[in-house]
A = this chain, B = another copy of it.
């Protein structure tokens, strides 16, 4: 079968691979639609070390091709979504309530990390009963594919932000995950969301997903502006959706005592991420800093698909480009260059 792989650091391409086989608890999925993620770009750049011929991708939906003997809930032909994160639900971390951390930090992240990813003609899904979900009839594949990572991660940012009903929220960065954090904050009862973003197309989408004001950090100091907007008090909750120390510091600085900073940005650089000592109230201001990796699992996927089915979230404006699987390298390169106002490139298998 064909697979789009990282050949080595800095080099990608389509190669032939053996079709995977299902163990007793597994399924084989035939993808229909996928999305390229900035993480794929980071991986090829070396973020998780050297990898040879590792199939890329972690966001797809598709059709079940085969299932193992212990799989009860799915059968070949089912149209299903799969999480970007596919935990081992019996692991130590899962039993403690953190399935995304199965077998160590970020260990629930298997696709294109500890095993082949989803950009191939066939995809191996571990613990299929727990990690797949049937897609409701009314939800199209190109919409459903957003539950794998974008909705799940963005909404986790909002859920971890502990937003009080009628509260105020700042969301730093409005890439696709940040946009879904903005939408998630609205879904969790925020009265006001202040988004930080300089790109005008993303700013427009942020407003569409509920932001009251979008602060262009190129022209305005976002900390100063958010403190003004909150009469010097700061927001109840701040969400970091970029992964830089600077925006993280800003998040702490705009959060009121007793408030919450929710990090969903992937911090890929440097030895340290810095907490501003004074903004943190010298470590005594009752500020909480939460973190999350994209939650996976059948129940999570079902809830997100239900929101799509009800029309409560419409991810389609984030699909700025479409490519056939045969042209996936072009989609990948576009995500790398971030040209042409790209937000998410949709891959059609």
Contact = CB atoms under 8 A, between A and B. Distances in A.
A282 B293 CA distance: 10
Interface centre among A23, A94, A270 (most CB of B within 10 A): A94
B188 A105 contact: no
A89 B89 contact: yes
Given A70-B23, A89-B94, A277 B273 contact: yes
B189 A189 contact: yes
Contacts of A90: 89-90, 127, 129-131, 297-298
Interface stretch (A115-123, A301-309, A316-324, A334-342): A301-309
A257 B101 contact: yes
A114 to B, nearest CB: 15
A191 B257 contact: no
B280 A271 contact: no
Interface stretch (A56-64, A215-223, A260-268): A260-268
A267 B283 contact: yes
Nearest to A98: B258
Nearest to A290: B288
A76 interface: no
A95 interface: yes
Interface string A120-137: 000000010111000000
Size range of the interface on A?
A: 35 or more
Contacts of A184: 165
A228 B310 CA distance: 18
A95 B297 contact: yes
A212 B158 CA distance: 24
A101 B276 contact: no
Contacts of A266: 282-284
Contacts of A288: 288-291
Contact of A155 (B165, B268, B277, B290): B165
Given A24-B24, A257-B101, A283 B165 contact: no
Interface of A: 23-25, 69-70, 89-101, 104-107, 127, 129-131, 155, 158-159, 164-168, 184, 187-189, 191-192, 212, 233, 240, 243, 248-249, 256-258, 263-278, 280-293, 297-300, 302-304, 306-307, 309-310, 312
Given A97-B258, A289-B289, 8 more contacts: A92-B299, A95-B298, A106-B257, A165-B303, A187-B189, A191-B306, A271-B276, A283-B291
Q: What are the 10 closest A-B residue pairs judged by CB atoms, nearest first? A: A166-B303, A90-B130, A98-B258, A101-B257, A105-B281, A284-B293, A272-B274, A191-B306, A289-B289, A95-B299
